[in-house]
Structure 1
Amino acid sequence: MLLVFRWLLRIASVLVVLSVIAVMGVYYLASRSLPDYDKALDVSGLTAPTRILRDHSNVPHIFSEEDAAVFFGLGYAHTQDRLWQMTVMRRTAQGRLSEVFGSATLPVDKLLRRFDIYSLARSSVAAQDAETLAALEAYAAGVNARLAEINESALGRGAPEMFLFNAPISPWRPEDSIAILKLMAVQLSGHAADEILRARTSLSLDNDTRLKDLLPDMPGTGVAALPAYASLFPSAGFGTQIARAKSLPQHPLSPFQPRGLAGASNAWAAAPSRSATGGTLLANDPHLGLTAPAIWYLARLELSSGGVIGATIPGMPLILVGRSESLGWGLTSSYLDDQDIFIEELNPNNREEYRTPDGYKPFVSRRSIIKIKDEPSITLTLHSTDNGPVLPPSFRNVGAVTPAGHVAALAWTALEPNDTSMSAGFHIMRAQNIDDALTASALYIAPSQNLTLADKDNIAMKTIGAMPRRPAEAESKGRIPSRGWLTQNRWQGYFPATANPEFIRPTGGIVGNTNNKLLERPFPLHVSYEWGDSQRIQRWQRLMQGRKAHSRESFVEAQLDITSTTARTILPLVAADLWFTGEAAPEGTPERRRQIALNLLAGWTGSMNEHLPEPLIYAAWMRFLQERIIKDELGPLAEEFPHLEPLFIERVFRNIDGAGVWCNIIQSSATETCADIARMSLDDALVWLNEVYGTSIEALRWGDAHEATHDHPVLGEVSVLRHFVNIRQSTSGGDNTLMRGRTRGTGPEPFQNVHAAGYRGVYDFTDPDSSIFITSTGQSGHPLSRHYDDLAQLWRRGEYITMSLDEGLARAASVGETVLTPKSD
C-alpha cells in the first residue's frame, strides 16, 4: 500500500511539474509579443527620424519633422498594441473570418461579401486627395515596419491570439484603412432594420393607430399616413413567411448590431458667453459596443498644422474625436436615413431578371469563394440591382416581408465606390477653426454623424454624410420597404452637403446632441423619421439651462449624470393606482413584497445608481410590463422589442388615441385594465428578482445586474481564458441616462451593460492643456500588459486623465520612448 502511495505521489508531482512547465511555456510565448516601448530601431519606409514618447497611461505622443513620418509612427504604435484588433477588423471587412474561425462566422462572411465593402474601399483609394493618400501610404508603411520587426525578431507573432488561431497577416495597404471606416458604417447603421420591423409589425397589427402606438413618431409634427404594407403586395400571403422567418445568428465578431445598439453618443459645446472662464468648451462621449480592448486608442500627433490629441481607431490614420490647440471636434450618430430596402419583382419566366421602370433587366452577378477552416470552400453567386445588392432572407428577417417571386435589395450611402470620407476626416483633424472643419466635412459620405465643433471663439454643429434625394412622391417615404420598379421610389442621387442641418454660432451659446431629433422639415429634406433618443435630451436641456455659465466640471457632471427622466415620467403613470393603496399584508407574502417595492420606488429620485435597489426593481417591472402588454398582439414578434419603449408606455397609460386598449389581454375572457397589468407585471418582476438574486428587496443592487461587459470578442467565451481577458464592472446609468449604459435586453442577464461611452473627452479652450479624456479599458490589446485594463477603473469611477500637448508633461513618468530612424538601403 505504501508503494502504491509513493508512486501516486511521484505521478502527481510529475503532473504538477509538467503543468508548471506548460504554464511557463505558454506565458513565455505570450509575453514575447509584449512590446518594448523604450528602444531605438532602424526601419524601412520611413522618411524622417521619428520619436514615439509614451506617457504614464501609455498614450503615444508622436513627433517628426515630416507629417508622413508621424503617420508612419502611428501605424507602428497601433500595430504594437492592437495588431489582433486590426487584423480581425480587416478580415471582417473582407468577409474572410471563416478562414480563421470556421463555419461559426460563415453567415457574417456571406453577408459582407454581398455588400463587397472591401472592393468599394479599394476603388475609393483613387478618390482621396494627395495629402490623405500620402498619410494612408505612410501609415501602412508603419504597420508593415512593425510586422517586419515581429517576423525578423520572433516577437511572439505580434499578439498572443496568433498562437491560438492560424491567421496569416498580409501587408497593410491604404484600402485596408478605408475598409475599416466602411466597417464602422455597417456597425452604426440601423435604418434597414427599422424599415423591416415596421413592415413586420404592420402585418401583425390590423390597426394603423396601434402601429403608431408601438412605433411612434418622435415628438413634433408627424409624417403623413403611410400605406399599409400589405396593400403594396395584395396577393403576397405574408402570414406563412412571418412564421418561418429566420434572422442571422449574432456572433461576437459580427458588425451587424441588434436593433437599438446600432449607435449612440453625446456631444455638447458652450460659447464664451456661456462659459465661466470666457473660453469655449466641448464634451463628447461616443457610444459603441463594449469590448476588451476598447475599440478606441488614444494618441497625440505633432503635425505641421499643429499638435492633435484624442481617440483613434486602430487601422486608420485619424484622430476621429479630439482637439488641437485651436479646435475641438466630437461625433454623435446622426440617425440620418441613409438606407432603404427595395422589394424587386422577379421575371416569372427568367428568375435571373428583375423588373425596372423600363422592363425586365438582368441582375449584375458575380461569384465569390469563401474559404472555411477545416471545411471545403463554398462559392456564392451574388446579385445586385440598380438599387443595390440583393439581400438574403435572413438579413434582419427581411424574408418575412418579401413576397413570393420577389427579392429584397439594399440602397445605402456606404456602398459608394468613390467614398471620400477618409479625406474629410483627415482635413477635419488638420482644421484650424470651425469654418475650415465645415468646409472639409462636405467630403464626408458615411457613416453619417453629427459633427460638434468648438474653436477658441465659436461653436457649431453640422450633420455630415450623404443624404439620399428621394422623390417627394415616394410611397413609403423610406419608412418601410418599397417597390423597386417604380420610378417614384428610387433614389435620385444625393442632396448637396449644404442641405444638411447645421447650427453655427447659435445665439443661445449652447449646442448639443444626444441622438435626438434635430429639426422638423418636410419630406424629403426631413433627415430621418427614426431617431435614437427622445429621453436623454430632456435631462440634457435641464442641465444646460440650469446654469448661466458652464465649466469643465459642469460638462463632466453632465457626462456622468445618471438621473433617468424616463423613470421619473413613466413610474407615476404606471403606478398611479397602486401607490399606498394596499392593506397590511403578512411578512413573506407577494402582497407584502409588492408594498415594500412600491414604498421604495415612491421615494426614489430616478437615480440609476449602481448601489441602489430601486433601479433594478424599476427596470425589471418595466420589462415584464411591456412584455405583458404586447405579447398577445404580436406573438413571437414581441421579441424584437427587448428594450423599454418609453413613448409607447406613455401613450398606453395616458390612453392617447385609445392606446389603453393594449392593456386588455385578447386571449383571456376577462377585461384587464392598465392598473391590473401594472400590478401583475410588478408581481412578475418581484418573483423573477427573488429567483435570480435570492435576497430581500432592500438588499438588491442595480450594479449586480448592470455589469459592464468589456469582453474579448474571441477569447471571451473560452471557459478558462475568459477570466483573464474579460473585464467586468458594476456600473451606474441605464438605457435613458446621459451616462448611458445600454442594457442587453435579452437572455438570462438582460440588464448587463453592453453598449456605452468607450471614450469620454472634455476640452476647455481657456486652458487647452487642462482638457481631459478617458477610454473604457486600456491602451494595450495584450492581456498580459498592465495597460490592458489600467484605465478601466478610472472609467468606471468617472475619472479622467489629462489631455495635454505639452511634451514635458508627457515625459513625466513616461513608459518609454521609441526612436525610429530611416534604414539606409
Structure 2
Amino acid sequence: MGHLFRWLLRIAAGLILLSVLAALLIYYLAAQSLPEYDKELALPGLSSPVEIVRDNANVPHIFGSYGASDEDVYFGLGYAHAQDRLWQMAVMRRTAQGRLSEIFGTRTVETDTYLRRLDLYRLAQQSVEVQSPEAMAALKSYAAGVNARLLEINEDALGRGAPEMFLFGMPLPPWQPADSIAIMKLMALQLSGHMREEVLRARTSLALNDETRIKDILPDAPGTGITALPEYAELVPGARRFASADSTEEDSLLFPVAPRGLAGASNAWAAAPSRSAAGGTLLANDPHLGLSAPGVWYLARLELGTGGVIGGTIPGIPAVITGRSDSLGWGVTSSYLDDQDLFIEKLNPENPQEYLSVDGYKDFITRPSIIKIKDEAPVTLTLRWTDNGPVLPGSMFNLAEITPPGHVVSLSWTVLSPKDTSMSAAINLMRSTSVQEAIAAGEDFIAPSQNLTLADADTIALKTVGAFPARDPKHQSKGRMPSQGWLPENRWQGRAPYADNPEFLRPAGGILGNTNNKILDRAFPDHVSFDWGDTQRVHRWQKLMQNREVHTRDSFIEAQLDTVSYTARTLLPLIGADLWFTGEAAPAGTRERQRQIALTLLSEWNGEMNEHLPEPLIYAAWVRALQARLITDELGPVAKSFRHVEPLFIERVFRDVEGASAWCNVRQSARTETCTDMARLALDDALIWIEERYGSALESLRWGDAHQATQDHAVLGNVPLLRYFVNIRQSTSGSDNTLQRGKSSGKDPDPFQNIHAAGYRGVYDFADPDSSVFIVSTGQSGHPLSRYYDDMAQLWRRGEYIPMSLDEDLARAAAVGITRITPR
C-alpha cells in the first residue's frame, strides 16, 4: 500500500511539474511578442528618421526629424498601431474581407457570408483610386509602417507579434491602403442600424395591424413632420402575417452588425467664449461603441506639418478621429441619418435569374465567391446585385419573414460606394486649422454619417457629415420599411447637396451639443431620420448646460460623468402613481412587504444610477418586467426583439395617449386588466427575479453587481481559464438613458450587463489647450501580459482622466520609452 502511495505521489508531483513547465513555456512564448519601446532600429519605408516618444500612459507622441514629411509621421503611427494592436488589426481586416472562417472554422461562416454579400473589401479596393493626394500619401506611408513592424517581427522572432498568433496561426500578408479603407467601412457597418429598424417595423406592422399601436411601441421622436404610413402588408402584398423568434446571426463569432439599439451613440457639446469662465472655447466628446478588450480606441499624438494633433485613433486607420490640435477641436456623434433602405425585388416567374427593374426584367449582376473554412470543405456563394444594391439572404435579420414568395431583398446603403472618399475627409479634417476649414473638409465624408462638433479659438459649430440619400417625396414607405424596388418613386436619386446637411454655426446662446437626439424638424424627404438614438439624455444635458451661466473644463467633465436618469424621474411617478404607500400592513417575508420596501426605497431616490445603490437595480428590473408584460401578448415572438425599455412607449401607455392604455389589458384573459394591475404584477416579477439572483435583502443590493462593464476579448473571452486573464470586468454607474451612458445587453441571463459605453472621453479647453484631458476604457496595448493592457480601466471607471498635452518636453520628461527609427 505504501509503495502504491509513493508512486501516486510521484505521478502527482510529476504532473504538477509538467503543468508548471507548460505554463512557463506558454508565458515565455507569449512574452516574446511584448513590444519593447526603448530602442533604435533601421527599417525600410522611411525617407527620414522618426521618433516615437511614449509618455507615462504609453501614449505615442510621433515626431519626424527636422525637414521630415508628414508621411514619415504616418509611418510612425502605423508602426505604433502594429506594435500594440496587431491582432486587433488583423482580425478587423479579415472581418472586412469575409475571411475569418479560414482561421476560426464554422463559427464565423455566418459572419463571412454577410460580409461577402456586401462586398465591402472590393469596394474599398476600388475607393483607393479616388482618395486625395494627401490621403493617398498617408495611407501608403501608414501601410509601410505596419509592414515595417511585420518585417521586424519576422527578422527578430518577436513571437509572431501577438500571443493570439500562436493559438490560431493567422498568416499576416502585407498591409495595403485598401485595408484601412475597409476598416473604416467596417466601422460604418457597426454604426448603422436603420436596416434593423425597417425590418422590425415591418414585422411589428404584420403582428399588430394597427398604426396607432405601432406608433406606441415604435414611437416617433417628439416633434412634428411625420405623416401616417401604410401598413407593411399594403406595401408588400403576400408578406406573412405571423412572426417567428429573432434570427441568431449576431451570435456568430465576430458578427459586426450591432443588435438593435446598439448601432452607435455618443455625446458631444461645446461652449463659445461668452459661456466659458476662462474666455476660451470648450468642447467635450465621448463616442459610444461596443465594449471590448482591447478597446476600439487608441490614443496618439502626431506632429504634422500643420502642427500637432492628439486624440483617439482606431488601429488600422491613419487619422485622429476625435481630438484636437492647437487651434481646433473636433468630436463625433452618430447622426442617425437614414442612409440604408431595403427593397423587395420581384423575381421573374419564368426565369429566377432575373428581377423586375424600372425598365423591365433584367439579369442580376452575379459573381461566385468561395469561403474557405478551416478543417471543412469550402462554401461557394453566388453574390447577386440589383440596381439597388446587394441581395441579402432571407436567413439573416428575419428577412424571410417579411419577404413574399417569389421575391428577394436588396440593400441600398451609402457605404456601398466604389468612390468612398471618407478617408480623405478624415485626413483633411485632422489638418484643418479652423471651424470653416473643418466644415469644408466634411464634404468628402460618405459613411458613416456623423454629427461633427467643432471648436476653434472663438467659434463653435455642429455639422452633419456623410452622404444624404436623395429620396422622392412620393416614396411609398418614406424609407421606414422595405419597399418595392421596381417602382421609380422608391429608388434613390443620388446624393443631396452637402450644403443641405444640417449646420449650426455660432449659436446665439453660446452652447450647442448632441446626445443623438433629434436635431431638427424637416419634412420628408429633407429630414435626417425618423429614428433617433435619444429622446431622454438630452433633457438632462439641457438642464446641466443651462444651470450655469459659464462653464469650465471641470463642469464639462461633470456633465460627461453625470448618472442621474431623467427617464427614471419621469416614469416612476407614472407607473407607481397608485402604489405609493397604499399597501396594507404586511409581515416580514411576504411579497406585499417586499413590495412596500421597494416602493419606499424608490420614493426617496433621486434617480441617480450609482453603482453602489440598490434603487437603480429595483427600478431597472421593474420597468423591464413591465414592458415585457405589456407587449408579450400583443406581439408574440416579435416581443423578443424589444430588448431595451422604450421610455416613450411606457409614458404613452400610462398617460393613455391615443388610447395606449389598451396595452395594459391582456387579450387572452377574461378580465380587463388596468395599468395599475400591470405595474403591481411587474414589480412582483422584478422582485422575484432580484431575489433569485441577488437575495431578498433589498437595501443591500448594488446596481454595479448587475451593471458590470463587460470588456471582453472578442475571441478568447469565452475560453475557460483564459477568460480570467483577457477579460476586463468592472462595476459601473450609469444606464441606458444617462449622460454617462452604459447601455445594457437586454439579454438573459444578465440583462443589465454594460456592453456599450464611452470607450473614449475627451474634454478640450482652448483657453489653456494643454490642460485638456482624455481617457480610454482599457489601455493602449492589446497584449494581455502588458502592464498597459488594462492600466486605464480603473481610471475610466472612476471617472478620471489623463493629460492631453501637445507639450513635447512634458512627453519626454516622463517617457517610458523612446523608439528611434531610421531609414534602412
Give the TM-score category using the shorter length. over 0.9
Alpha-carbon shift at residue 251 of structure 1 (Å): 3.0
Partner of 1:187: 190
State the SS of the aligned residue for 2:444.
coil
Match of 2:22 in 1: 22
Deviation at 1:522, TM superposition (A): 1.2
Distance 1:479 1:651 in 2: 21
Mapped to 1, the partners of 2:251 and 2:513 lie a distance apart of 33
Q: Which residue of structure 2 aligns with residue 450 of structure 1? A: 451
Match of 2:241 in 1: 239
Deviation at 1:243, TM superposition (A): 3.5
Q: Structure 1: how far apart are the matches of 2:726 and 2:160? A: 18
Q: Which letter maps to 2:179?
A: D
Q: How far, CA to CA, are the matches of 1:502 and 1:395 in structure 2?
A: 37
* Residue in 2 that maps onto 1:551: 552
**8 Å contact from structure 2 (residues 470, 496) kept in 1:** yes
SS of equivalent to 1:388: coil
2:127 match:
124
Amino acid in the other structure paired with 1:274? R
CA contact (8 A) 1:247 1:397 kept: no
Cα distance in 2 between the residues matched to 1:151 and 1:427: 34
Whole-angstrom CA distance in 1 between matches of 2:169 and 2:499: 48
Superposition deviation, residue 814 in structure 1 = 1.4
Q: Which residue of 1 aligns with 2:307?
A: 306
1:639 & 1:6 partners in 2: Cα distance?
Answer: 59
Q: Distance in 2 between matches of 1:288 and 1:206?
A: 35
Q: Which residue of 2 aligns with 1:33?
A: 33
Kept in 2, the 8 Å contact 1:191–1:337? The answer is yes
Q: Report what 1:385 is aligned to.
A: 386
SS for the counterpart of 2:624 is: helix
SS in 2 for 1:366: strand
The amino acid that maps onto 2:479 is G
Choose from 99, 113, 127 the match for 1:96: 99
Contact 1:265/1:333 (8 A) holds in 2: yes
Q: Secondary structure at the match of 2:551?
A: coil
For residues 365-764 of structure 1, the aligned pairs below 5 Å read 365-764=366-765
- Identity, % of aligned pairs? 67
Alignment CA distance shift 1:594-1:618 (3 Å) = same
1:776 matched to 2:777? The reply is yes
Q: In 2, distance between residues paired with 1:482 and 1:303?
A: 48
Specify the SS of the correspondent of 2:244: helix
Q: CA deviation at 1:778?
A: 0.2
How far is the alpha carbon of 1:237 from its aligned partner?
5.0
Which secondary structure does the structure 1 equivalent of 2:58 belong to?
coil
Shift of 1:233: 3.0
In the TM superposition, what whole-angstrom CA distance separates every residue of 1:590-613 from its partner, at most 9, and x where no partner exists? 000000000000000000000000
Structure 2 residue corresponding to 1:229, chosen from 220, 229, 232: 232
Matches of 1:114 and 1:539 in 2, distance apart?
Answer: 42
- 1:363: which partner in 2? 364
SS at match of 1:52: strand
**CA distance in 2: counterparts of 1:563 and 1:243, whole angstroms:** 37
Question: What is the CA-CA distance between 1:216 and the residue it aligns to?
Answer: 1.1
Using the alignment, how far apart are the partners of 2:220 and 2:44 within structure 1? Answer: 57
Q: How does 1:9-408 map to 2 (within 5 A)?
A: 9-64=9-64, 65-234=68-237, 236=238, 238-239=240-241, 242-243=243-244, 246-408=247-409
Q: Measure, in 2, the Cα distance between the counterparts of 1:186 and 1:724.
A: 29
Listed one character per residue, the Cα deviations across residues 31-59 of structure 1 (whole Å, up to 9, x for unaligned) are 00000000000001111100000000000
Query: Amino acid of the residue matched to residue 523 of structure 2?
Result: P
Q: Deviation digits for residues 241-270 of structure 1, max 9, x if unmatched?
A: x33874424235111110000000000000
Question: Per-residue CA shift, 1:421-466, capped at 9, x if unaligned?
Answer: 0000000001000011011100100000000000011100000000
> Residues 79 and 143 of structure 1 are in contact (CA less than 8 Å); yes or no, is this contact kept in structure 2?
yes
Letter of the 1:202 partner, please give it: S
In structure 2, distance between residues paired with 1:413 and 1:670: 51
The answer as to whether partners of 1:630 and 1:638 remain within 8 angstroms in 2 is yes
Q: Is the 2:220–2:530 Cα contact (8 Å) retained in structure 1?
A: yes
For residues 795 and 6 of structure 2, the distance between their equivalents in structure 1, rounded to whole angstroms, comes to 52
Partner of 1:503, secondary structure, is: strand
Kept after mapping to 2: 8 A contact 1:245/1:394: no
Query: Secondary structure at the residue paired with 2:308?
Result: strand
d(CA) in 2 for partners of 1:731, 1:244: 31
- Partners of 2:413 and 2:37 in 1: CA distance: 42
Any idea what SS the aligned residue of 1:478 has?
coil
Q: CA separation in 1, counterparts of 2:538 and 2:642?
A: 22
Distance across 2 between alignment mates of 1:815 and 1:101: 36
Separation in structure 2 between the aligned mates of residue 398 and residue 370 of structure 1, nearest angstrom: 22
**Structure 2: 5+ residue stretches without partners:** none
Distance 1:499 1:524 in 2: 12
Task: Please list the CA deviations of residues 756-809 of structure 1 after superposition, one character each: whole Å capped at 9, or x if unmatched.
Answer: 000000000000000000000000000000000000000000000000001111
Give secondary structure in 2 for the equivalent of 1:531.
Answer: coil
CA distance in 1, matches of 2:244, 2:289: 32
Equivalent position amino acid for 2:757 in 1: A
CA contact (8 A) 1:296 1:775 kept: yes
8 Å contact 2:225–2:522 — kept in the other structure?
no
Question: 2:42 is aligned with what amino acid?
Answer: D
The secondary structure found in structure 1 opposite 2:317 is: coil
Q: Secondary structure at the match of 1:106?
A: helix
Alignment match, 1:4? 4
Calculate the TM-score normalised by the size of structure 2.
0.99
Letter in 1 for 2:133: A
Aligned to 2:789: 788
- CA distance in 2: counterparts of 1:383 and 1:606, whole angstroms: 51
What RMSD over aligned residues (CA atoms) do the two structures have, in Å?
0.9
Distance 1:351 1:369 in 2: 22
User: Aligned partner of 1:778: which letter?
Assistant: G
Secondary structure of the residue aligned to 1:321 is strand
- Equivalent residue, structure 1, for 2:812: 811
- Worse-superposed segment, 502-511 or 278-287: 502-511
In structure 1, distance between residues paired with 2:246 and 2:588: 48
- Read off the aligned partner of 2:754 and give its amino acid letter: N
Comparing 429-438 with 391-400, greater Cα deviation is found at 391-400
Paired residue total? 821
CA distance in 2, matches of 1:202, 1:685: 29
- Contact 1:612–1:701 at 8 Å: present in 2 too? yes
Q: TM-score, normalised by structure 1?
A: 0.99
- C-alpha distance in 2 between matches for 1:126 and 1:222: 41
